[in-house]
Amino acid sequence: MAMPTPTDAELVARAQGGESRAFAELLERHYGTIFRIAFKCCGHRGDAEDIAQNACLRLAATIGQFRFRAAFTTWLYRVVLSVARDFQRRAAAQRAVETDYVRQQAVLQGSDPPEVTAAELYAAIRQLPESLRETVLLVVGEGLSHAEAARVLGCAETTVSWRLFQARRQLRRWLAG
């Protein structure tokens, strides 16, 4: 008879008790999500790998702080977004140069909105202020509902809606040149 697959909560409790295999199983189960969020935050495979690795290290260091008040995945999103924020702050100077280049290219292309590639759209999303960028990544990129994103971001559902409105408005303006 096969043993039932443990829930995230059971694995977290065992990991908090010092069982390294339970923590490894949690990472195996959720690494795809960790990497996907990291990639959507930065748009570069190498950087996403660094962010994902740092997120795994942060999870190992902070697993004892998880209090079972929300789903493990809600907490996981918060940890990965926090690590991505830290990574992006350290790379702020380079992003500023890239942002200037994207804006210069939009100006050079004239007033007609150019065809936008997925890479250009992600580059524009990465230029959004942190709160707007994270909201877009969770709702559009991860498919979370406004309510789920609000829980992850620690804000009201109406705030999520407002942030999406602001992000769309700003992206339209940037992408239109």
CA distance 105 to 16: 50
Pull the structure tokens for residue 120.
């250009």
Eight-state DSSP code of residue 4? P
Q: Residue 82: name the closest of 121, 113, 41 by CA.
A: 41
Domain match, 71 and 120 both: no
Output the domain CATH number for residue 74. 1.10.1740.10
| pLDDT average, residue stretch 51-57 | 95
User: Which carries the bigger pLDDT value, residue 21 or residue 89?
Assistant: 21
13 is a domain residue: yes
Asked if the model's pLDDT at residue 105 lies above 70, the reply is no
Q: What does the pLDDT read at residue 99?
A: 57
Task: Tell me the per-residue pLDDT of 124-170, one tens digit each, with 9 for 90 and over.
Answer: 888 899 999 999 888 888 888 999 999 999 999 999 999 999 988 88
103 is a domain residue: yes
Domain match, 48 and 116 both: no
Domain match, 84 and 111 both: no
Q: What does the pLDDT read at residue 123?
A: 82
Secondary structure of 49-70 in HEC code, one letter for each residue? HHHHHHHHHHHHHHHHHCCCCC
User: Which carries the bigger pLDDT value, residue 172 or residue 154?
Assistant: 154
3 is a domain residue: no
Domain boundary, last residue among 46, 62, 89: 89
Domain match, 84 and 132 both: no
109 is a domain residue: yes
Q: What does the pLDDT read at residue 92?
A: 66
Q: Tell me the residue range of the domain where 157 lies.
A: 92-175
Q: What does the pLDDT read at residue 95?
A: 55
1 is a domain residue: no
Say whether pTM exceeds 0.85. no
Instruction: Count the domains in the chain.
Output: 2
Domain match, 80 and 107 both: no
Asked if the model's pLDDT at residue 93 lies above 80, the reply is no
Q: What does the pLDDT read at residue 96?
A: 58
Domain boundary, last residue among 58, 74, 89: 89
Domain match, 61 and 122 both: no
Domain match, 71 and 13 both: yes
Domain boundary, last residue among 89, 124, 149: 89
CA distance 81 to 46: 17
Task: Tell me the per-residue pLDDT of 2-52, one tens digit each, with 9 for 90 and over.
Answer: 778 999 999 999 999 999 999 999 999 999 999 999 999 988 899 999 999
Domain match, 35 and 63 both: yes
The answer to whether residues 175 and 113 touch, using CB atoms and an 8 Å cutoff, is: yes
